[in-house]
Structure 1
Amino acid sequence: MNIKVIVLLALVLIPFAGFSQNSDFHIYLCFGQSNMEGQGKIEEEDKIAESRFKVLQSVDCPNLNRMKGNWYPAVAPLCQCFSGLSPADYFGRTMIQNLPEDITIGVVHVAVGGCDIRLFDKDLYQDYDSTYTDKWFVEKIKSYGGNPYKHLIDLAKLAQKDGVIKGILLHQGETNTDDEKWPGYVKKIYKDMMKDLHLKPKQVPIIVGEVVHKDQEGKCASMNEIIATLPDVVKTAHVVSSGGCTDQGDKVHFSSEGYRELGRRYALMMLGILGYNVDNE
């Protein structure tokens, strides 16, 4: 074969070398503030590994024997080295229980307790990366390279080499309580995500959970009225109720059982979108 032809073939084929994207590996991006980060006590039932549920480690965690950028069995904590149980845990567990056995679920999880939603706006984040001057907040921002949105997108691009992004999970709103501009902020972030990851909104819905409900006397419960309007602004958005999901007594953060139930509801919503008729037992 002519040497020029061989060189041309090599140039064409090299970019595809090692590419092993699996269409049965469904990936979900999880972001938000403390309730998405996970504040629930991790109990024995939460430590059971499932082979079809994985997490792409977002930061180096020597205490968990996990390193950033690698896939691991999705056992809490999923977000940070010392975070707790989150909605993502039982989202994934519920998904694999109700999907065909050849489908694996993966989550990419980046969240910052106490953050304004605009911390995830790639054009505004620097105005919101010092909302709190406390060491705990500063260190979390630092662990994400100073830019949580970019950190999430970079991980998502890495995940796309292995699977297909199927949805976005958001839990945020406490810091933006009563801010009627919140749906617009979310729309902008979601639009940026779709563009930066070359995704189509109709194929990648965004699911958002309510904050602690008024039936639990939630301190930020009035925000749920604003969250409810998101589907009017983002046509591919869906809202999950937090009604009946218990809190820890602080009226802001869910209890472990509250996180489990909220995670199940995220999953039931997504399963419905995918066309699976699942009874909410």
Structure 2
Amino acid sequence: MSIRDGGGTGEVAGRPRLAGPPTRLRAPPAASRPGVGRAAMPNAPPREFCTFYVAPPLLSPYFSVGGRACWEIKMRIARRAQRLAGTLAILVSVASATAAAGDADPDVYLLIGQSNMAGRAPIPDDAQGPLDRCVLLNDRDAWEPAANPLNRYSTIRKDLKMQKLGPGWGFAQALLAAAPKARIGLVVNARGGSRIEEWKKGTRFYNEAVRRAQAAMKAGTLRGVLWHQGESNATDPDYLDKLKQLVLDLRADLGKPDLPFVAGQVAKDSPVNAHLARLPQTVPGTACVSAEGLKTIDGTHFDTAGQLELGRRYAESINKLRRAE
């Protein structure tokens, strides 16, 4: 849809809003300006202006947590039948787009842990834009197209400048490649340098992971948890017991007793890797992905290729667990 504004023509852009009672429209962000100008309709009286808020094509398959998406259109309508008919036609088109978006509930995955889950690797050029058919839970507990850094909306993260490429990107890519019709929703809530004790039930890190996962479950189906942590507990002899309890607590609080849970080994020959490797024999419905062969940028944090490969390994393990459900 185009509008005429002065002597030029421009495409109408806008943004999705939560379904619900009508509200006063707020000014959209600079990157999403509404089209404002004289409607390109026959016999439109001079100086009649219209303001449109229409979702751009990129967002049309998505919706916001807590309600289906809708696109609001605000107009100053001339008292002419043809202008009113034109308005009704636009509203019908928008309603159809809203109904189509309602079929897109994603498979949701919770990604938690410390710095390697948050991501410290450089983001490659081909991972700078949004990932098709993948959404990320943002700081308003709403879905938006997933783009790096995926840990940007973590409610427990360190400085935003530290957030880079983690395993979530390669993980989502691999899942989508294996299921061309799937939609993936990521809830990434990691914290660099965190110890497993900080993820114990009742702590802030644990509570936020559960809260955000539950928010995502209002418009999606939780399919699994990815856990990458252990560098800060490298020599902890009780690590496996603590991890087992974390798995059981998450499953109980999220209402999914068989929720797939995949843990990833850390870089280097760390003693904690032996504990992580024994998780599948200790807790049913869990898996451990190896970090063998993955390179790091500093001895601890995986490099770009390593993070992408780690994500693919997570996806392979999740798919195996889901097939066994």
TM-score, normalising length from structure 1?
0.73
Residue 18 (structure 1) shift? 5.0
**Matched-pair identity in %:** 32
Q: How many residues align?
A: 219
- Whether the 8 Å contact between 1:55 and 1:73 is mirrored in structure 2 is yes
Residue 274 (structure 1) shift: 3.1
Q: Are 2:143 and 1:71 equivalent residues in the alignment?
A: yes
Answer yes or no: is 1:114 the counterpart of 2:160: no
Moved over 6 A (4+): 19-23
Counterpart mapping for 1:237-276 below 5 A: 237-248=286-297, 250-275=298-323
**Among candidates 225, 243, 266, match of residue 168 of structure 1:** 225
Q: Secondary structure at the match of 2:323?
A: coil
Matched residues in 2 for 1:33 and 1:240: separation? Answer: 16
CA displacement 1:195-228 (0-9 Å, x = unmatched):
2111122xx21001110144xxxxxx22211211
1:235 to 284, 289, 307: 284
The residue number in structure 2 matching 1:63 is none
Bigger relative contact order (CA 8 A; separation at least 6): 1
| Counterpart pick for 2:175 among 83, 95, 101 | 95
User: Is the CA contact 2:104–2:183 (under 8 Å) kept in the aligned structure 1?
Assistant: no
Residue 56 of structure 1 is matched in structure 2 by 137
The one-letter code of the counterpart of 1:96 is L
The CA distance in 2 between the partners of 1:154 and 1:75, in whole Å, is 22
Distance of 2:212 and 2:122 partners within structure 1: 26
Partners of 1:275 and 1:158 lie apart in 2 by: 26
Structure 1, unmatched stretches of 5+, are 1-16, 58-66, 126-146, 215-220, 277-281
Q: 1 CA distance for matches of 2:248 and 2:120?
A: 28
Mapped partners of 2:287, 2:244: distance in 1: 13
1:270 CA drift (Å)? 1.5
Kindly indicate whether residue 123 of structure 2 is the aligned counterpart of residue 42 of structure 1: yes
> Is the CA contact (8 Å cut-off) linking 1:22 and 1:164 kept in structure 2?
no
SS at match of 1:260: helix
Unpaired stretches in structure 2, ≥5 consecutive residues: 1-65, 70-101, 153-159
Is 1:194 the counterpart of 2:194? The answer is: no
Contact persistence 1:245–1:258 (CA under 8 A):
yes
1:23, CA displacement in angstroms? Answer: 8.2
Counterpart CA distance in 1 for 2:304 and 2:67 is: 40
Letter in 2 for 1:208: A
What is residue 222 of structure 1 aligned with on the other side? Answer: 271
Kindly name which structure, 1 or 2, has the bigger radius of gyration based on alpha carbons: 2
Moved more, 186-195 or 113-122: 186-195
How far apart, CA to CA, are the structure 2 residues paired with 1:223 and 1:197? 27
Contact 2:239 2:272 in 1 (8 A): no
Shift of 1:22: 6.4
Shift of 1:192: 1.5
1:196 & 1:111 partners in 2: Cα distance?
19
